[in-house]
Amino acid sequence: MKKISKSILLKLTVFSILFFISLSAWAQVPQVPREMSFADLTIRINEQARREIQLDVDALYRNPNYFKVKAERANLYMPLIERELREVGVPDEVKYLVIQESGLIADAVSTSNAVGFWQFKQGTAEEVFLRVDNQVDERKNIVSSSRGAALYLKKHNAHFDNWMCALVSYQMGLGGAKSYFGTQLNGKKVIEIDRNSHWYFKKFLAHKVAFQHQTGGVLVSNTGYLEEVRIQGPTSLKELAPRLGVSEDHLKEYNKWANRGQIPGDKTYSVVYLRQGMPPVTPAIIQSENRYNQSTASSNQFYQTSNPAYPRITGNQQYATRPNQIRVNNLEGIQANQTADAEGYAEKIGIKGKRFRKFNDLDKGARVETGKYYYTENKSSSAEVATHIVQPGETLWAISQKYGIKLSSLKAKNRIRTDKDIRAGMVLNLQEHRKRGEDIKMAPAQELRRMAAASNPQPDPTHQAPVQSAPPQSNPSPVTTQPRAETPRQTAPPSSGQERITHVVQQGETLFRLSQRYSVSVEDIKKWNNLPDNTIKVGQRITIIKQ
């Protein structure tokens, strides 16, 4: 009898301990409220739907280790995601969708072959200007894919004026969401959620509730924080690693978008890597351009060099000379196909001349020039990068066009009025205003020498045969540099019915874009031109054989 009493007592003790542990764990699980906000909406949830959403929240917390892993990833990636959403004009709270879609796993693949952080299919990815081919898959790039998702959602919200409908359209597509919702919720700001509400939005609310208050101990990373460096190739992760002080494997782990470890030269790519310690003063990612080239600069200052990635061109570049086909620095733009009077050209592309001149800071009587990019909407009051080093012969207008910043804003930020006030080597602000009485900084001499060398690169033995060097020219400029002599290609002559085309590579073009333009495969282009990889350069002559 005494043994039975001890046994019962032991069981009661164990049960009590387990009960209190369970109760303690339950107390940490956030509870779904009956009313909450999302974007500019008020969400009212009836009891049945609230219990349904709560079950999803409980499931997210059920495995503490699994939840902690997701929380750690959120801590690393959210500053970058928040920045991209904010710059496009998408509500901050949309960020929880990326956890729902992929758990923040870069190379996640769904059963429907959607890939990456935001789970894009290839066609949708290319709609939002993401590059997807055998060299690069930007669906796995946290910066590019987050901007793509923001553009996609913002475009859909324009149809509904309702962020709940826009968010559901991310799963159903715009056509599916229009059929599902009709127009009954367009512009509505108070939403009732019940058992019949779309499951995808209820699942989103569960992720929002589960993660939104985890800003304390759980989301403080023990591993460090992510730093972003924007790189203009061509280069490789292997070459970049020692400059950033990390291993090549480390860069490959955090940059799975570079399929073969190569960074092509068609545009600027965001490379991220893990830094130890606490993040900067604010929990935001440091954005640096060629950070590893700053050894001679002040430790608190970095310089934005004249980057050939700007102006940054995205969209359907095959039809860049047509309206509504490309974006220039994320603004609507066009490439001039003729040299003409600005007002006459504007009329041909369907814009009033006065508005076109205002968009591009052009004086009356100004002319547009063939091949240059122009804006078809207002430029921004600041640029995507912080500074620019003035090049020999540059004008304030040319710099404003290069980065998509209003000419008046550029002058105001730097407290300058005319081109007479600038000279080569000056570091101009593109985001912050120069303080009154503060001198304009000058780039270090070493940086100027590096820029001069970059504007007159050494011959690349991969893409050209050795040629006798010409006498050096003064003031080398990438604009006037002649295309390199090419190695004679031993390609077979085109057979009957075939046409041979010689294409001169323009800024922003890639083999993938050329394959789309001429309806041929990337592999055929490489074979016709004896290319060892997918790297091509501005001015290079490419042979295309059309059937």
Final residue belonging to a domain, choices 188, 212, 236: 212
Pairing of strands 235-236, 262-263: antiparallel
Q: For residue 168, report the phi and psi dihedrals to the nearest 5 degrees.
A: -65, -35
Amino acid at 179: S
Give start and end residues of each alpha helix (H) in 29-118.
47-62, 64-88, 96-102
Q: Which helix (H) or strand (E) holds 146?
A: helix 142-160
107 and 79 in one domain?
yes
Whether 261 is in a domain gets the answer yes
Final residue belonging to a domain, choices 291, 324, 339: 291
pLDDT of the residue at 530: 86
Q: Assess contact for 166 and 88: CB atoms under 8 A.
A: no
Mean pLDDT of 218-233: 69
Whether 376 is in a domain gets the answer yes
* Structure confidence by residue, pLDDT tens digits, 82-124: 989 988 889 989 999 999 999 999 999 998 899 999 999 988 8
> Hey, what long-range contacts does 62-69 have (CB within 8 A, 24 or more apart)?
64/25, 67/210, 67/218, 68/218
- CA distance linking residue 261 with residue 281, whole number of Å: 32
Tell me the CATH number at 43. 1.10.530
Whether 110 is in a domain gets the answer yes
* Structure confidence by residue, pLDDT tens digits, 340-366: 899 999 999 888 999 999 999 999 888
Tally Cβ neighbours within 10 Å of residue 178. Answer: 16
Q: Assess contact for 126 and 148: CB atoms under 8 A.
A: no
Mean pLDDT of 233-258: 91
Q: Assess contact for 100 and 207: CB atoms under 8 A.
A: yes
- CA distance linking residue 123 with residue 391, whole number of Å: 39
117 and 259 in one domain?
no
Whether 128 is in a domain gets the answer no
pLDDT of the residue at 410: 93
pLDDT of the residue at 476: 35
* Structure confidence by residue, pLDDT tens digits, 448-474: 666 655 555 444 433 333 333 333 333
pLDDT of the residue at 334: 93
Distance of CA 511 to the CA centre of its chain: 20
Q: pLDDT > 70: what percent of the chain?
A: 76
**Which region among 129-133, 344-348, 505-509, 534-538 has the lowest average model confidence (pLDDT)?**
505-509
Mean pLDDT of 200-224: 72
- CA distance linking residue 356 with residue 395, whole number of Å: 20
pLDDT of the residue at 445: 63
Q: For residue 181, report the phi and psi dihedrals to the nearest 5 degrees.
A: -95, -25
189 and 250 in one domain?
no
Quote the DSSP letter at residue 544. Answer: E
Dump strand ranges (E) for 432-498.
none
234 and 201 in one domain?
no
pLDDT of the residue at 289: 34
Tally Cβ neighbours within 10 Å of residue 158. Answer: 9
Mean pLDDT of 66-70: 88
**Which region among 2-11, 65-74, 361-370 has the lowest average model confidence (pLDDT)?**
2-11
48 and 23 in one domain?
no
Mean pLDDT of 399-428: 90
14 and 41 in one domain?
no
332 and 350 in one domain?
yes
pLDDT of the residue at 142: 95
DSSP, residue by residue, 326-368: EEETTEEEEE-SS-EEHHHHHHHTT--HHHHHHHTTPPTT-EE
| 508 or 217, which is more confident | 508
Whether 10 is in a domain gets the answer yes
108 and 242 in one domain?
no
Sign of CA dihedral 425, 426, 432, 435: positive
pLDDT category at 151 given cuts 50, 70, 90 is very high
**Which region among 35-49, 212-226, 531-545 has the lowest average model confidence (pLDDT)?**
212-226
416 and 324 in one domain?
yes
98 and 77 in one domain?
yes
pLDDT of the residue at 20: 43
Q: For residue 523, report the phi and psi dihedrals to the nearest 5 degrees.
A: -65, -35
pLDDT of the residue at 299: 29
Mean pLDDT of 293-301: 30
| 517 or 138, which is more confident | 138
Whether 267 is in a domain gets the answer yes
- CA distance linking residue 466 with residue 143, whole number of Å: 40
Half-sphere exposure of 309 (CA within 13 A, CB side): 22
- CA distance linking residue 477 with residue 306, whole number of Å: 12
Q: pTM for the full model?
A: 0.52
Q: For residue 539, report the phi and psi dihedrals to the nearest 5 degrees.
A: 95, -15
Final residue belonging to a domain, choices 291, 326, 347: 291
pLDDT of the residue at 309: 66
Whether 185 is in a domain gets the answer yes
Give start and end residues of each alpha helix (H) in 182-269.
199-212, 237-244, 248-254
- What length does the chain have? 547
Give start and end residues of each alpha helix (H) in 440-495.
445-455
Q: For residue 375, report the phi and psi dihedrals to the nearest 5 degrees.
A: -100, 145
Tell me the CATH number at 439. 3.10.350.10
Q: For residue 445, report the phi and psi dihedrals to the nearest 5 degrees.
A: -60, -35
- CA distance linking residue 325 with residue 148, whole number of Å: 16
Distance of CA 267 to the CA centre of its chain: 11
Single out the residue of 321, 350, 318, 349 nearest to residue 335, CA to CA: 321
235 and 205 in one domain?
no
Res 286 pLDDT > 50: no
Mean pLDDT of 508-517: 70
pLDDT of the residue at 538: 77
| 3-class state of residue 137 by DSSP | strand
pLDDT of the residue at 166: 95
Q: Assess contact for 290 and 305: CB atoms under 8 A.
A: yes
Whether 471 is in a domain gets the answer no
**How many domains are there within the chain?**
5
For the stretch 335-361, what's the b/e string if a residue is b when 16 or more beta carbons lie within 10 angstroms of its beta carbon?
bbeeeeebbebbeebebebeebbebbb
90 and 168 in one domain?
yes
| 41 or 470, which is more confident | 41
User: Range of 506's domain?
Assistant: 499-546
pLDDT of the residue at 126: 86
pLDDT of the residue at 221: 46
Res 217 pLDDT > 90: no
- CA distance linking residue 147 with residue 168, whole number of Å: 18
